[in-house]
Amino acid sequence: MCKQGNYKYYHAEAYANEILKDKPEPIKNNDYLNNLYASLQGQKRKTLKIAHISDPHIDYRYTVGADQKCNNYLCCQPDDGFPSELDRQAKPWGSYLCDLPPQTFKLMLEYIKNEIKPDIIVWTGDNAAHQIWSNTPQEVIDSTNNITKMIRDEFDQTQVTVLPINGNHDYWPANNQDLSTANSSIFLEEFSKSWKDAGWLTDEEIAVFTQQGYYSKPLTLKDGRHFNQTRVIAINTMSCYFYNFLVLKSRYDPGEQIEWLEAELKELEALNGQAFIIGHVPPMHYECMHGWSYRFKALMDRYQHIVRFGMYGHQHHEMIQTYTSVRNPNQRIGMGFLAGSATTYYKMNPSFNEIEMNEEFMIPLNIKTHFFNISAAEQDQNNAKWSYLHDYLETFNLTDLSPDAIFSEIAVKVRQDEELAKKYKWNKSKQSSAKTINTCNDYCRQTLFCELSAGEIFEFNQCMGNPDFDFVNDFANGVTNFLTSEWVKRKD
């Protein structure tokens, strides 16, 4: 902290130093999660199954026969015209240059119910189509409420528990949420009504969520099972998203979320509890601003024996990330898993993740990807279906999903081995025929390595050999980080 004029400036690094002062002795070696995985080797334990859905971006204006190769930002809508050429006509199940038609998402929900049979559905937002230049606030609200209804129609009569959180496209204008005043978002208010009616969140959880868009809840399943020592922590990553320019109105702890998260983790520590985190923008990704994400990383370090892992979306790519100890950057302490998008946009096969999670320690044992092959559906529209694509352990020859294994057996090898890098990159798009990977040169492999191993924006830039404030390669990101890297509060 430093003082200047009528304001105090707060540095993320100073916060990290303060929060880590009382780091418990048992986790000072930064190997807690890695040891948990080692303790389970060769053992058969009870598991829970999660279906993780993200970024549906359903387009209710998607029209079969409309131009799927238009010159607009988003195609397959009536305004794009109806070409006579067959290869330009939008097909019934989707197109690589468009958002997802509702029927493909409905087919996914049926597949999840009948084939996956999960205990939990985690739904991490971005529900409105990408038509951000002409949509309305009501259309954005309707997008989330319509998907809520679709999920309820499919799962209300089952024992599946649903855990929702919204994304940056679930506000209007897109990417913008004003966090300077609590209880001021019509979007959070409407989503709260919908999710309360669904029975997914309690009155107490709704009261917290409506304030600023985050919540915490005990893991209680619809079938009656209670995991009293485990909490689901749903974070609002609009507090750190670099395109949320309204965050400039909240120059100190936007939405007071870091303060809230610290209190949640401290309470869990006192109870000898544990948690997993769900959110939209991955907090360790380069689109999450340094001032916020570095503090988040410090909390993950301090409470590495509490937080098991994170489930995120946003990138549309299927990705894995690890993060390190603040003071010992060579020691891996945590990981986050990014589900690929349910939408096809842009040039993606739609997908979701199936996560097998250990019931006792709440750590993921394996992750399987299920997808909808758009190219195959175009060729045989009557037999279009969702199906299994791959699983992480087998595809990447992993010992387990521990932070150390992910780093040494994927990140390091991807940097060295072009064939493995090509495989990892192709699976990011869920093996889309529109994104066939023929090469992955040195720069490509370095980028993948940094994505897998960097814990926040400055680390990613340094890993890529760029300055912290990288105005050349990403001007908007550089400017936003420059303006928000220090938190500011008026003196009392």
pLDDT digits (tens, 9 = 90+) for 143-175: 999 999 999 999 999 999 999 999 999 999 999
Summarised one tens digit per residue, pLDDT across range 21-30 is: 999 999 999 9
Cβ neighbours of residue 60 under 8 Å, at least 6 residues apart?
Answer: 102, 129, 143, 146
Quote the pLDDT of residue 4.
Answer: 60
pLDDT at 82: 97
**Can you list the domains of the chain with their CATH numbers?**
18-62+99-410 (3.60.21.10)
Angstrom distances, CA of residue 213 to CA of 132, 174, 314: 21, 15, 16
Model pLDDT, residue 435: 87
Residue 1 pLDDT exceeds 90:
no
What pLDDT, on the 0 to 100 scale, is given for residue 201?
Answer: 98
pLDDT digits (tens, 9 = 90+) for 381-420: 888 999 999 999 999 999 999 999 999 999 999 999 999 9
The whole-number pLDDT of residue 6 equals 78
Which amino acid appears at position 363 of this protein? I
CA distance 464 to 230: 37
Q: What is the pLDDT of residue 212?
A: 98
Residues of the chain with pLDDT > 90, as a percent, come to 93
Overall pTM > 0.95: yes
Query: What confidence tier does 2 reach under pLDDT thresholds 50, 70, 90?
Result: low
Question: Helices marked H in 321-391 — which ranges?
Answer: 374-379
Q: For residue range 236-269, what is the model confidence (pLDDT) as tens digits?
A: 999 999 999 999 999 999 999 999 999 999 999 9
Q: Please determine, for residue 5, whether its predicted confidence score (pLDDT) is greater than 70.
A: no
Maximum distance among all Cα pairs of the chain, rounded to whole angstroms = 70
| Exposed/middle/buried for residue 4 (C-beta within 10 Å: 0-12, 13-18, 19+) | exposed
Strand partners, 491: none
For the cut 60, the answer to whether the pLDDT of residue 186 exceeds it is: yes
